[in-house]
């Protein structure tokens, strides 16, 4: 399997270079379990979901700690048929497709309940895309039902769902949406925006 994210960080400050470069340091503890490649547009992070999402959480949390308005944009994908398998992506975190939706929802909620707070608020919106054969709408609706019970659900919006709360549970919710819904051997993607310290909320 191939799993990863293309991530871009946008600090709304004259000191954006320092915010970006210092935030990338938050990925250092994860680098031995991820493949990370940065260019002038984005950072590619390749690895298993159980490592990928905590790394994204830490990147976001470090940027948000600047107290500047910061936006993290990411496209996440697993099982893309156009990408070669990568041993670094081996994982046992993906749900068994034979498990009923209600059991997968229960397992996802249990994982969130065990997630510690990180002390930084995250306001996020995302869309889940389940591609390939099978009843993709049943998977998406099952995910939405899970989100509404997650404790991080804010509201439904056109084309996406909004989450809010501490960054720990919010990124855990995103991880469970990515892992528990859609076939483990199928192509699943997430389009994600996370915002911190927005002046619109003042």
Q: At 138, which CATH number?
A: 3.30.70.930
Write the pLDDT tens digit of every residue in 76-130: 999 999 898 999 999 999 987 778 999 999 999 999 999 999 999 999 999 999 9
* The pair of three-digit structure tokens given for residue 191, joined into one six-digit string: 């389009």
Q: What is the pTM of this model?
A: 0.95
Residue 129 to residue 18: CA distance in whole angstroms: 34
Write the pLDDT tens digit of every residue in 38-68: 898 999 999 999 999 999 999 999 999 999 9
- Beta partners for 124? 163, 194
- Return the pLDDT at 4: 97
Give the number of domains in the chain. Answer: 1
**Helix, strand, or coil (residue 185):** coil
- Work out the average pLDDT over 178-187: 90
Q: Where are the beta strands (DSSP E) in the chain?
A: 3-11, 35-38, 43-46, 70-78, 121-131, 153-157, 160-166, 187-196
- Return the pLDDT at 181: 93
Where in the sequence is the domain holding 63, given as residue range(s)? 3-201
> CB of 179 within 8 A of CB of 190?
no
């Amino acid at each position: 399997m191939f799993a990863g994210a293309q991530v871009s960080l946008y600090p709304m400050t004259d000191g954006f270079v320092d915010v970006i470069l210092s935030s990338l340091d938050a990925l250092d503890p994860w680098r031995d379990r991820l493949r990370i490649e940065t260019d002038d547009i984005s950072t590619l992070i390749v690895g298993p979901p159980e490592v990928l999402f905590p790394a994204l959480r830490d990147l976001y949390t470090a940027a948000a700690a600047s107290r500047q308005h910061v936006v993290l944009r990411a496209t996440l994908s697993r099982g893309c048929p156009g990408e070669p398998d990568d041993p670094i992506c081996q994982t046992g975190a993906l749900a068994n497709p034979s498990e009923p939706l209600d059991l997968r929802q229960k397992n996802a909620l249990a994982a969130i309940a065990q997630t510690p707070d990180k002390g930084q608020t995250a306001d996020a919106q995302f869309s889940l895309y389940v591609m390939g054969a099978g009843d993709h709408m049943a998977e998406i609706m099952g995910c939405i039902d899970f989100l509404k019970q997650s404790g991080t659900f804010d509201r439904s919006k056109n084309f996406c769902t909004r989450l809010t709360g501490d960054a720990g549970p919010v990124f855990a919710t995103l991880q469970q949406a990515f892992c528990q819904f859609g076939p483990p051997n199928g192509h699943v993607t997430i389009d994600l925006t996370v915002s911190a310290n927005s002046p619109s909320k003042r």
